[in-house]
Structure 1
Amino acid sequence: MTNHTTTNSGAPVGSDQHSQSVGADGAIALTDHYLVEKLAQFNRERVPERVVHAKGGGAFGTFTTTNDVSMYTRAALFQPGVETELLTRFSSVAGELGSPDTWRDPRGFAIKFYTSEGNYDLVGNNTPVFFIKDGIKFPDFIRSQKRLPGSHLRDHNMQWDFWTLQPESAHQVTWLMGDRGLPSSWRHMDGFGSHTYQWINAEGERFWVKYHFRTAQGHDTLTQAQADQIAGEDADFHIRDLHEAIDAGNFPSWDLSVQVMPYADAAEYRFNPFDLTKVWPKSDYPLIPVGRMTLDRNPGNYFAEIEQATFAPSNFVPGIAASPDKMLQARIFSYADAHRYRVGTNHAELPVNRPHTETNSYSKDGAMRHGYRSPEQPVYAPNSFGGPHADAAAHGDDRGWQNDGELIRAAATLHPEDDDFVQARTLVNEVLDDAARDRLVSNIAGHVSKVTIPELRERVLLYWSNVDVVLGRRVAEALPPIAEPRTSLVGEPAPASR
């Protein structure tokens, strides 16, 4: 194997240091194709960053099913004793690619299982709920958490305006403003599938499930002061922590359990079980152990294996299907579509995204298409030339609730406890202890202190009083007066008329 520099086409390079020049004045010759190649490649060595979950890191590992849940699903990876290779990516939600890892933000928790039946992607967060329950609101929500269009600054007025106009956000914002809004590392936080999914067993019986990954390292969080200090000293703190831990042989693990709801329970449950802003009480549906995930290999190249990794809730396998969760339905489209735009039409052919099983797809052509079965492969179905054909027996009847009109209607009606504040109130009063409630008040007040519109601040206080009257009063008492009131969300002069 040679060790000399070559062009991208494999030809030897004469110099890494000097471009070709013509004459005494040193004018560069356009025929220096290696110089042109280097500069052109450099201009194109980035792909667009993710609009959401831009900043993150990850590692490879395995999932081992240690318990028998075959009575709930026939999915191959969840059969007893099966070991499945995987990639896990952790991330922050709102920050851009260069943002500090320790900003207060939900954390992404995405897993790609390379199963014997194709790739299964579970795309979740470190919280079991989310800010909204309908995907039509998602672009507006994310824009409210990003930057103002004129000044390009992040803005607390914009954030709280959206949150208080969407009371369904109360449960997630309470999680965010509490201790779990600042995990000490990715290794020391839990992960959740968040959405409700469907499992189908070998007999065709259906169940509703929620995924819970509990960290085996122990749950640990940062104080606001610690997070602020780290943000100024090491913006890549969480990326560094995961990489160095695995490099040292300290392989992090998470234990997976699921909550299982009988299919028929959904229509009559006391709140909509497909509402992403709600959790199922464990007293109703206890955790059932499934197995353990362990990460033991760092990526060899961050860009190739993490930045270009694509996770999509549309990647199901037999025995696992969707639910009437409106946010999940929207994500099934939007995630895969984002990957086609960001990485490319054939992103699934990249090694990090390629299934570890044979693919017999009729997807055709597009930029960077390189795989094919044979020169005579048919490009349409059905065909008479031996091309692949659909196999209902292999796929199974996983169409799920789509044909169950009664369930769809029931999921859209108001259940007795479909209140936007009830679970946030339970979290504050029955889950948090006194010290955690004190920190919650401090965190909320610190964040809301940057809200500079008086009417908006009043709405924020009403929002928290709806969660809990005492909490709302304590936040009000902890807030300093508004120093320089603003009268608009944009806070910038209107463009001059022409």
Structure 2
Amino acid sequence: MSSNNNNNLTTSWGAPVGDNQNSMTAGDRGPTLLQDVHLLEKLAHFNRERVPERVVHAKGAGAHGYFEVTQDLTQYTKADFLSEVGKRTPLFIRFSTVAGELGSADTVRDPRGFAVKFYTEEGNYDLVGNNTPVFFVRDAIKFPDFIHTQKRDPQTHLKNPNAVWDFWSLSPESLHQVTILMSDRGIPATLRHMHGFGSHTFKWVNAEGNAVWVKYHFKTEQGIKNLAPDLAAKIAGENPDFHTEDLFNAIDKGDFPAWKLYVQIMPIEDANTYRFDPFDVTKVWSQKDYPLIEVGRMVLDRNPENYFAEVEQVTFSPGSFVPGIEASPDKLLQGRLFAYGDAHRHRVGPNHNSLPINRPKVEVKNYQRDGGMALGNNGGSGAYYEPNSLGGPKEAPQYKTSPFEVSGNADSVSYNSDDHYTQPGNLYRLMSEEERTRLVQNIVGAMTPVENNDIKLRQIVHFYKADSELGQRVASGLGLSVPGGL
């Protein structure tokens, strides 16, 4: 009798399983027989159920939703999903902490990843940012070293504040992000009560080929809410999955979180004269110079059906562009264009974009073949090289990336601005006295375990250069004095 139309348990190759409670043995006591192929397959699959966790952003939560255009910005970009007011595009978002492992607590002081995959009619567009507008480093060559400081010491297997502050004190460009991280916003109350940012500068190109520079800002409609450190620590011990649970429950009961998307637009030529390098991801653009322009609204209205299939296997890359959106010369972005896709090819497999959560809504046509998990018919008997005379897909010149001017020598150089202090100093001076006090307390608490006073003094100098009061208060809290000569 056919088993196709019933609810029989089957093996991965579709054969019905007769006994899923008892392994096959030689006699009642065994030993177990190697011929029990169902047992072997079950154990072998179990051993492989966990793909390697992400090196960064390992702990995350996700949801499905949609993006709806509310303002016509076709004068700036030809991106199809932004082409008309009212147009809706399905999306998937993943929120995450940066430094912790897959089982770490949600309510730690850490930036939050804010990655959005738009399933557009011209392919997937990934906007892979954080809940902060800046980052710790501005060149991809420093990123592995920075992340090493956030991970565990290779000898003790413990988090190492000496490494954290040693790196930061020797990398003054990190001061702006450190100041944000140590502020109230370093521990959001929930994933729903925080902003999101593309962080990098990107390029928008319109139908006429005219380009502008752009930065993305997602503003939460739920309002900003943060956790006090003592409450965050209490929750971390009692419910380490607090943020994950909150997001799931809110959507499950119909309290759909939403964000308004805004952009800042900079004319191409302004990049040469603006007072900060607009491609330096440790800096922000003044909203007085480049005001926020509304684009649309993002709503999360559906929870994943399966965490592993969707949240764990979803892959994002800043290099997943669509026509009308392109890269800028941002040095950190340039490195991420390679690193993210390469991480997914290692972690999930070379055909990660074929998985349902990553698969574009449009048909994929290319000459990439084979590799692990080559789903579908692997290109069938069609052409497998290009150019060909067999009617295979061809490039479309109208979608070529727009040019931008470059000049100078091929060399390893830094950004031409070493002003790492004006913007974090301005941020401190914008805070209320209560916010300043909490900032200093958080910094002092984080630096107190550092064993080397030279590291502490080096970092104090950075805080002092940003704002003398800030430097003095941090030094006093650590029982030290601001080094002379400042």
SS across alignment from 1:461: helix
Q: Deviations for 1:144-203, whole angstroms, at most 9, x for unmatched residues?
A: 111111111001111000000000000000000001100001100000000000000111
What code does the residue aligned with 2:471 have?
G
Cα displacement (A) at 1:370: 2.2
| Residues 1:465 and 2:470 are matched in the alignment | no
Provide the residue aligned with 2:473 in structure 1: 474
Q: Which residue of 1 aligns with 2:432?
A: 433
- 2:120 aligned with 1:115, yes or no? yes
Matched with 1:453 is 452
1:464 shift after superposition: 1.5
- Tell me which residue corresponds to 1:493: none
Q: Is the 8 A contact 1:180 1:221 kept in 2?
A: yes
Contact persistence 2:205–2:402 (CA under 8 A)? no
Aligned to 1:29: 33
Partners of 1:271 and 1:414 within 8 A in 2: no
Q: Is the 8 A contact 1:20 1:28 kept in 2?
A: yes
Matches of 1:66 and 1:266, distance apart in 2: 28
TM-superposed CA distance for 1:330, in Å, is: 0.1
Q: Are 1:388 and 2:389 an aligned pair?
A: no
Instruction: In structure 2, give the amino acid aligned to 1:469.
Output: S
- Partners in 1 of 2:293 and 2:459 — Cα distance? 38
Give the secondary-structure state (helix, strand or coil) at the position aligned to 1:440.
helix
Q: Take 2:325 and 2:128, find their aligned partners in 1: how far apart are those partners?
A: 14
2:96 — aligned with what? Answer: 91
Does the alignment pair 1:239 with 2:240? no
- 1:372-391 CA distances to partner (integer Å, 9 max, x unpaired)? 48633100111001100001
Checking the alignment, whether the CA contact within 8 Å between 1:267 and 1:407 is kept in structure 2 is: no
Give the match for residue 405 of structure 1: 406
> What is the alpha-carbon distance in structure 2 between the residues aligned to residue 375 and residue 225 of structure 1?
59
SS at match of 2:200: coil
Choose which of 46, 60, 67 in structure 1 pairs with 2:64: 60
Question: What per-residue deviation string (whole Å, max 9, x for no partner) do you get for residues 216-258 of structure 1?
Answer: 0011000001110010001111100000000000000000000
Q: Contact 1:322–1:400 (CA<8 Å) still a contact in 2?
A: no
Q: Name the CA distance, whole Å, in 1 between partners of 2:395 and 2:445.
A: 57
Cα–Cα, structure 1 residues 27 and 337, in superposed 2: closer, same or farther, change >3 Å?
same
Aligned mates of 2:381, 2:34 — CA distance in 1: 42
Map 1:62-461 onto structure 2 (within 5 A): 62-80=66-84, 81-372=86-377, 375-393=380-398, 395=399, 397-401=400-404, 404-406=405-407, 418-429=418-429, 431-461=430-460
Counterpart among 20, 26, 38 of residue 42 in structure 2: 38
Unaligned runs of 5+ in 1: 482-498
Q: TM-score, normalised by structure 1?
A: 0.93
In the TM superposition, residue 400 of structure 1 has moved relative to its aligned partner by 3.3
The answer to whether the 8 A contact 2:77-2:206 is kept is yes
C-alpha distance in 1 between matches for 2:213 and 2:28? 77
What is the Cα deviation at residue 399 of structure 1?
3.3
What is the DSSP-based 3-state SS (H/G/I as helix, E as strand, rest coil) of the residue aligned with 2:148? helix
Residue type of the alignment partner of 1:71? Q
1:418-465 CA distance string (max 9 Å, x none): 501111001001x21111111101100111111111222222222221
8 Å CA contact 2:70–2:297 kept in 1: the answer is: yes
8 Å contact kept, 2:213–2:267: yes
The question of whether the paired residues in 1 share the 8 Å contact of 2:370 and 2:378 is answered with no
Q: Is 1:15 matched up with 2:32?
A: no
Q: CA 1:418–1:205 in 2, change beyond 3 Å: closer, same or farther?
A: farther
Letter in structure 2 aligned against 1:472: G
SS of the aligned residue for 1:186 comes to: coil
Alpha-carbon shift at residue 5 of structure 1 (Å): 1.5
Q: Share of identical aligned residues, percent?
A: 55
Query: Does structure 2 conserve the Cα–Cα contact (< 8 Å) formed by 1:57 and 1:89?
Result: yes
In the TM superposition, structure 1's runs of 4+ consecutive aligned residues that sit over 6 Å from their partners are: none
8 Å contact kept, 1:324–1:408: no
Contact 1:272 1:418 (8 Å CA) reproduced: no
User: Structure 2 stretches of 5 or more lacking a match?
Assistant: 481-486
> Cα distance, 1:406 vs. partner?
4.4
Deviations along 1:327-349, one digit per CA (max 9) or x if unpaired, are 00000000000000000000000
The structure-2 alpha-carbon separation of the partners of 1:462 and 1:79, relative to structure 1 and needing over 3 Å to count, comes to: same
Give the C-alpha shift of residue 392 in structure 1. Answer: 1.0
In structure 1, the residue corresponding to 2:176 is in which secondary structure? helix
Aligned equivalents of 2:456 and 2:9: distance in 1?
Answer: 61
1:68-119 deviations in Å (ceiling 9; x for gaps) = 1110000011122221000000000111111100110000000000000000
Kindly provide the amino acid, as one letter, of the partner of residue 77 in structure 2.
T
Shift of 1:33: 1.0
Q: The residue matched to 2:41 in structure 1 has which SS?
A: helix
Residue 299 of structure 1 aligns to a residue whose secondary structure is coil
Describe the superposition over 1:253-275 as per-residue Cα deviations: whole angstroms up to 9, x where unpaired. 00000000001110111111000
| Residues matched between the structures, number | 474
2:484 aligned residue: none
Partner Cα separation in structure 2 for residue 168 and residue 390 of structure 1: 41
Amino acid at match of 1:424: P
Q: CA deviation at 1:408?
A: 10
